[in-house]
Amino acid sequence: MMKGKLTLCLFILAAAMLLSPAAAKAAFAPEPKLSAKAAVVVNADDGSLLYAKNEHEKLAIASTTKIMTSLLTLEAASSDNRVIAVTPEMIRVEGSSMGLRANDRLTLRDLACGMLMVSGNDAANAAAYAVGGTPEKFAAMMNAKAAELGMKDTNFVTPSGLDDDNHYSTAYDMSRLACAAMENGNFAAIVRQKSMEIRFVNPDVTHYYGNHNKLLRLDPCCTGIKTGFTRKAGRCLVSSAEKNGVRIIVVTLNDPNDWDDHETLFKYGFSKLACNKIDDSSMRISEAVVGGVKDSAAVAGTSGNDVVTGSGETLKRSVELPQFVYAPIKAGQVLGCVRYTCGGKTLAKTELTAVEDVGCLYVKKNLLQQFWDSIHRLFPFS
């Protein structure tokens, strides 16, 4: 259908390039000055780096480990959110706790909530036994998932993130994990909550938990994710934020001033990106038709998903339609597309569809033409 394609490249300036007014006016924030030993800001949509400081340095990550632990727990719960009976072995762990006791019964998802709300080491340990069989086997699952996500400088030993010389990651790797975790709907729904009630199966008691992530109360753009602290790791924080259609992930490791640094990095990250609205629904084009009752057909554009680009980048728009189409044509039939590119890469496409039916032109044949048609049907090679 697209053979002999005629590409109409419409390189239009300013607003016609589909940069939103907010994006066109955005001013770049100054280069951040941080107290973190390592930090990154990434575009949550594609993981591209917007800011980096010692991003590949291997460091202790404390309870931000529970991003991985809870993600694996929620993935297991998606197919079987079974009830877990807590054993003394499961809760034999130091540090922060969601208050589990032996013989408590609650679901896998509830354990994930306990990790993400109050950083429960008991919840992480219980999940490791429930999902992996043992903490060691669960650590192997964590490392397999890390490899799958391209976390090349990461090694997990414990489900909780308690200090171990062989338990480490990098700011960059943790951003990859955070991007993947936020694509899990259950994970994203939990980490954005400022507080949560969890009703245990046994005893039949409802517990109230407040989220340790102070950023949820400090900044309306914040949508998660996880805090962490040990003496070796220092203060660690992985956060997500969304503004005007732009989503970013921020990671700081060993950062004594993490709350302020994350707010600074939010501003910096948002200044680097722009969300472009993709809507061609008002577009109308006339397309040539061959062999139809009409010699042209009305073609309409459609809307598409928004596209995030760098604030200083230009989104180019091109209309792609064949030189002509053959009848018959049905209303709604896709005849071409509008392509959006940036830096030579296609970021979005919307369909161009026929607005109306166009039937074939019927030509009445004389007796001689009908005779020859009959001969050709009987003797196709004559």
Catalytic site residues?
A: 63, 66, 119
Q: Distance between CA 356 and CA 215 in Å, rounded? A: 53
Neighbours of 126 (CB within 10 A): 30
As given in the structure block, the two tokens for residue 90 are 């499961």
List strand residue ranges (DSSP E) for the chain, in order.
5-10, 38-43, 49-53, 83-85, 105-107, 195-199, 206-210, 222-230, 234-243, 246-253, 273-276, 284-290, 296-300, 307-310, 316-322, 325-326, 334-342, 345-354
Query: 89: closest CA among 134, 138, 139?
Result: 134
Q: Distance between CA 90 and CA 285 in Å, rounded? A: 66
Contact 240, 226 (CB under 8 A): no
Q: What is the DSSP string of 228-240?
A: EEETTTEEEEEEE
